[in-house]
Amino acid sequence: MKQLRLLPLVLLFVAGHSTASVGKQRIEINTTKIVKSLQQPLVGENVNFLMSSDTHWPRKVSMQQRIGEMKLGMLRFPYGHLADNYLFTDAPFNDGADGLTPRVVSRGTAPGNYPWAVDDKGYFKKSLDFDEFVRYCQSLQIEPLVMVNMLGWQKSDSVVDFDDLKQHAIEWVRYANITRNYNIKYWQLGNEVAMHVDKSTYFKHFVEIAQAMKQVDPSIHIGFGEDGRSNWIAEALNNEDIGQYIDFLSPHQYLFGRAWSESYLRWRNYNGKITSKIDKLQRYADNSTHHKQVPLIITEYGVTGGDYPESKPKGYALFRSAQKNSNASMILSADKTFVTKYWGKGINNHAIHIKLLKDGDFVLRPYGCDGCFITAGENADSELQIAETFSDKARFQIIKAGKEHYRVKSVAFANRFIAFNYDNNRFNLSASKANKGEQFNIVDLDKKPKLYANADEAHIDQGMNYANDLWKSLLFAEMTLTTHNFKNVSHMIHWNTHSSWDGEFGGFHGLLANSLNNTAENTLTPIGEVIKLINNHSLSEVIQLPEKHGFVRSYATLSKDKSQMSIALINKNYHAEAVQIDLTDFNHDGQFQQWVYTGEHPEDEFPTVYFDELKGDKKLSNRQQLQMQLSPLSLTIIKLKAQ
């Protein structure tokens, strides 16, 4: 197990309120300011029906166990886009009591064209069916949400027309709530429909199917299937011919196209909004006449964007010249005093070890000099030096310079890049604006395991960064906790447990979208660990408080009886941050628990959760102030009990 340098949480309890000292971020939590109450844990999941059956897809650790560990509030079934090619049982859809026969409507579109998932007649081979899904929900006390196929009639080789899909929706409600008495409350009609059908057609079909489903069971809640990318929702809420059937909205929130989400340092320094669609839909609800309280069930969200991997995999590598017809490599000189070129293919003894620091910079350590560092020279134009100890001159940035090429930039001297100087046969720092220094192919030398040992088992490749890492999971935590402060947001459903877009063994380790790795152990990804922390330690009453404090983000929840408080603090910075928390209308009893989720650097794919239980001085009569140091790049959750 790796050893992390964690800062102890130092708490002081002070009567009344005082001014925060210099260098501390002050956070005020007033427990009388309640935004809303949550009925279930905040974060849910999109369960991928193709890959989530414990009956047909057995793993060493079951789906039911992992779902239970994350304490999910809601499960969406069967999926998102692929659910528009899904029938919960075959036509005429009314004989499910004799056994479900789920199938696709189209063999020509995904997942109908996945031979590992669908047989030659269109039936799913080993998918999670509706009954097994409900068993998960019932055994774990999770709220189910069903996404109903609204678009399958459009596919050229579809086995159904619109009337068939309408009957399918009717019979699904009947099977779920009459035949089986499952009491499924939430039914979403279509997924991201504005991408696939025109507005007038969807409005017409939405009303027609919603009416028919409610005739079977008037108690069900119907969700509008547009995700917020168009203005359909505002129009539907203000047209009661449509709006009367809308019981909840189902927006999606991703981060595509946002430059600030493309690297750790950009996110660290970003202080703007990250919830554009949710802001818009909350505004639509607030401005409507009859739907000001309409719940927002965010049926898909996740952290996306960027070019991954963000940096070359860490470890030993050859820095080969990217010049045409050149095999030259950057190497340590024979006397180990400077850095030069080797005019040949290069061997492992010429390798340079690349280490990523917590702040995103890199350290370069040549093979064969017993832990020495490559550093900048005395000034901005000096040749590179070899040093026995670390200093700021040993910090570099590795910057992409094309599809496969990289430049190495000094941190100590602005706008200086490593380049070869033919006059002294050494690598210097270059101020050239024409080429910004040398371009390298960085050839990874670390041995990596094969992707699969055999056709049935996928192995973790620990040498690669698939971007589900520490800083992305902290961004996910910020996105989740920021969004849950909106008064109409009742549930948030992360996308997703496993991804099938890359095949049967896709997402074997650390795929950005996944909360679970597609391995026999079914382990939680960093994002899965964050979901587990948030859901297991959040309470029902959401407190309104200022969120942003420099690099720190703060959130708090309270138990219904005000006997417990949970505080979540995100430190985006690569340095420790001091904070002072002032409490109003809540006196702490002198004991608390804390969980610290952190890692070794921004792209750490294996963050660690540290737990501690501490006791304060019981002689103090008034405990309304907490002071602490937050570990770098961390999510800290503190549980307090009232005195």
Dig out the tokens for 604 from the structure.
Answer: 């750490």
Q: What pLDDT score does 42 carry?
A: 92
Q: What is the mean pLDDT of residues 170-185?
A: 98
In the chain, CATH 2.80.10.50 sits at 315-444
Q: What is the mean pLDDT of residues 103-125?
A: 96
Map tokens 């859901």 to a residue: 535
At CB < 8 A and 24+ separation, what contacts does 233-237 make?
A: 233/281, 233/284, 234/284, 234/287, 234/288, 235/199, 236/203, 237/284, 237/285, 237/288, 237/290, 237/291, 237/294
Dig out the tokens for 354 from the structure.
Answer: 């690349």
Under DSSP, the state recorded for 179 is I
Percentage of the chain lying above the pLDDT 90 cut: 63
Distance from C-alpha of 366 to C-alpha of 349, rounded to nearest angstrom? 9
The C-alpha angle with vertex 139 and arms to 300 and 534, in degrees rounded to 5, equals: 45
Question: ω into residue 313 within 30 of 0, thus cis?
Answer: no
Class of domain 315-444: mainly beta
Map tokens 């041995």 to a residue: 447
Dig out the tokens for 141 from the structure.
Answer: 């006390």
Dig out the tokens for 348 from the structure.
Answer: 């492992």
Average pLDDT, the chain: 87
CATH 2.60.40.10 matches 24-35+541-642: no
Please state which of the ranges 27-31, 87-91, 382-386 shows the lowest mean pLDDT. Answer: 382-386
| 3-state DSSP assignment of residue 35 | strand
Dig out the tokens for 500 from the structure.
Answer: 């099938």
Distance from C-alpha of 304 to C-alpha of 363, rounded to nearest angstrom? 28
Better pLDDT: 511 or 142: 142
Better pLDDT: 360 or 471: 471
Q: What pLDDT score does 15 carry?
A: 34
Q: What is the mean pLDDT of residues 468-497?
A: 96
Q: For the segment 5-18, what is each residue's pLDDT rounded down to a tens digit?
A: 445 444 444 333 33
Percentage of the chain lying above the pLDDT 70 cut: 87
Q: For the segment 523-578, what is each residue's pLDDT rounded down to a tens digit?
A: 999 999 999 999 999 999 999 999 999 999 999 999 999 999 999 999 999 999 99
Top-ranked range on mean pLDDT: pick from 129-143, 411-425, 507-521 = 129-143
**Cβ–Cβ under 8 Å, residues 440 and 319:** yes
The residue ranges of DSSP E strands in 167-259, in sequence order, are: 186-189, 221-224, 248-249, 252-253
Dig out the tokens for 502 from the structure.
Answer: 């890359």
Distance from C-alpha of 210 to C-alpha of 115, rounded to nearest angstrom? 34
Distance from C-alpha of 608 to C-alpha of 615, rounded to nearest angstrom? 23
CATH 3.20.20.80 matches 43-308+452-537: yes
pTM of the model: 0.82
Q: What pLDDT score does 615 carry?
A: 62
User: Residue 329 — very low, low, confident or very high, per pLDDT cuts 50/70/90?
Assistant: confident
User: Residue 356 — very low, low, confident or very high, per pLDDT cuts 50/70/90?
Assistant: confident
Q: What pLDDT score does 3 carry?
A: 44
Distance from C-alpha of 431 to C-alpha of 417, rounded to nearest angstrom? 7
Q: What pLDDT score does 238 carry?
A: 96
Question: ω into residue 526 within 30 of 0, thus cis?
Answer: no
Please state which of the ranges 59-68, 447-456, 479-488, 608-617 shows the lowest mean pLDDT. Answer: 447-456
Q: For the segment 183-238, what is each residue's pLDDT rounded down to a tens digit?
A: 999 999 999 999 999 999 999 999 999 999 999 999 999 999 999 888 999 999 99
Distance from C-alpha of 580 to C-alpha of 629, rounded to nearest angstrom? 9
Distance from C-alpha of 103 to C-alpha of 119, rounded to nearest angstrom? 9
In the chain, CATH 2.60.40.1180 sits at 24-35+541-642
Burial (CB count within 10 angstroms: exposed 0-12, middle 13-18, buried 19+), residue 557: buried
Q: What pLDDT score does 446 carry?
A: 59
User: Residue 22 — very low, low, confident or very high, per pLDDT cuts 50/70/90?
Assistant: very low
The C-alpha angle with vertex 529 and arms to 559 and 84, in degrees rounded to 5, equals: 95
Distance from C-alpha of 263 to C-alpha of 458, rounded to nearest angstrom? 28
**Cβ–Cβ under 8 Å, residues 42 and 484:** yes
